[in-house]
Amino acid sequence: MSKRAILSRRLFLASASAAVAAAATIPALADTLDDIRKKGVITIGVGVMGTKPWVYQNEDGTYAGMEYEMMQYVIAKLGIPKFEYVSTEWDSLIPGLKAARWDIIWSGMTVTEERRQGAGIDFSRPYYFESDRLAVKGDGPIQSPDDLKDKVIGAATGTVEEIQARALVEKGRAKEVKAFADFATPFLALQNGQIDGYVVDNTTYGEQKKITPNLRTVGPVLYLAVDEKWQDQQQKAAYVYGGDGVGVRKEDTALLTAINDALNAMDADGTRQKILEKYGLWDDSLKLDNMMKH
């Protein structure tokens, strides 16, 4: 199976300490919206290039994916005719944004207070919402979450799924967590018996099952876990934990406002729902009212 065929999850928790350290050496930048419009091109940091349904290239080199289609709508509203994707490692997305190597992050990144307050970037309102599932080998012996009590479960290093998996171990629902540095290996490890279960986001699971039919889930939906150190701050946030947003630098207030206005317009004319329906992703949990606290 090609690496491109293996689907990745975009929720790596970019190292707050690394981002803060980087920020100490980076001079403050002014709001860049006017400059981007003058250049006529916006650069976008992406850590999930090639993964469905997020963003990928067709055989003819054109782009596709639900995030790509949303991005096209938004930059048109912003009056920016061109874009440039910069494909990068996930843990460089936030430091790269703060160092102005790209203008925004649009890479299925979950909005968290660890990223907003700890790593020091800001996010648009959510445009998507996710939960986790516990995936197991389709023809394997695991029939329920209880069967994993003395077993090894996998997760991608630095993701909210890793937090979820370690919480399951702490609760005695699994023996240990095996963390993987890349996106492909956990699915392969599940098939060859290196791990017995895999904590994975529901969107990636659905796409991966199209490629690897020998998968199934056990137990109920696992809503994204919050790092205990950020529980208090997360409870005070205006958004429901689990939503994905567009990442911007703190000083880019005009750019952030313009992106939020465009996302609101995409909801008002029904385009966001149509895009997500096209990729088989829409349900009522994705209505904006259900992604924000009241």
**Residue 6 counted as domain residue:** no
Q: What is the C-alpha to C-alpha distance for residues 37 and 41, in angstroms, rounded to an integer?
A: 7
Nearest to 124 by CA among 248, 215, 249, 273: 248
Among the ranges given (98-102, 151-155, 199-203), the one the predictor scored with the smallest mean pLDDT? 199-203
Task: Read off the pLDDT band of 223 (50, 70, 90).
Answer: confident
Write down the mean pLDDT value for the chain: 87
**Residue 185 counted as domain residue:** yes
Q: Are 111 and 243 in contact (CB under 8 A)?
A: yes
Say if residue 23's pLDDT is above 70: no
Q: Are 67 and 47 in contact (CB under 8 A)?
A: no
Q: Are 196 and 268 in the same domain?
A: no
- CATH code at position 136: 3.40.190.10
**Residue 159 counted as domain residue:** yes
Q: Are 20 and 68 in the same domain?
A: yes
| 51 vs 183, residue with greater confidence | 51
Say if residue 158's pLDDT is above 80: no
Task: Read off the pLDDT band of 182 (50, 70, 90).
Answer: low
Domain boundary among 204, 227, 250: 227
| Helices 253-268 and 66-77, axial angle in degrees (round to 10) | 110
Q: Are 72 and 43 in the same domain?
A: yes
Domain boundary among 172, 193, 227: 227
| 254 vs 90, residue with greater confidence | 254
Q: Are 125 and 23 in the same domain?
A: yes
**Share above pLDDT 90 across residues of the chain, in percent, rounded to a whole number:** 67
Q: What is the C-alpha to C-alpha distance for residues 114 and 101, in angstroms, rounded to an integer?
A: 22
pLDDT recorded at residue 205: 85
1-5, 7-11, 93-97, 222-226 — most confident range = 93-97
* Total domains, the chain: 2
Q: Are 219 and 179 in the same domain?
A: yes
Domain boundary among 227, 260, 277: 227
Domain interval for residue 41: 16-129+242-291
Q: Are 114 and 256 in the same domain?
A: yes
Q: What is the 3-class SS of 170-199, one letter each residue?
A: HCCCCCEEEEECCCCHHHHHHHHCCCCEEE
